[in-house]
Amino acid sequence: MNNQIFISNFVVPIIIGVPDWERAIPQNLYIDLNIILKKNDAFNSDNLEGTIDYSSVIELIKSLADENKDILLESFGEKIASQILQNFPAQSLTLKISKKKIIPDADFVGIILNRSI
């Protein structure tokens, strides 16, 4: 048995991309995140200390985006995943990061990372 929290379609502005034109101005990334919790305490106790505060995760992602020097979604996503697993009571996570309208024939492109401790 496991319990999860999720953040869906979180939009974060960032300078990222391989071609120069893509890094010329900030673009929006669309982030979906599912985190499997180490414990199920909050589901029984109504205590925030037994879960993960969504706003803390969002602030972490915003901070990483503001400081970003990576050009690839892969390396940026790896930073998000490793920071969450190091700093929150998470057992595992699935992180999806999408870019919109980067390739003419696709609405979104991106990556999906599955990580666990």
What are the tens digits of pLDDT across the range 82-95?
A: 999 999 999 999 99
Read off the pLDDT of residues 12-56 as tens digits, 9 standing for 90 and up: 999 999 999 888 999 999 999 999 998 766 566 676 777 899 999
Tokens of 18: 């391989």
Q: Which fold has domain 4-116?
A: GTP Cyclohydrolase I, domain 2 (3.30.1130)
d(CA 81, CA 91): 11
Domain boundaries, the chain: 4-116
Residues β-bridged to residue 4 = 36
Residue 92 sits at φ, ψ, to 5 deg, of -160, 170
CB 77 within 8 A of CB 43: no
State if pTM tops 0.75: yes
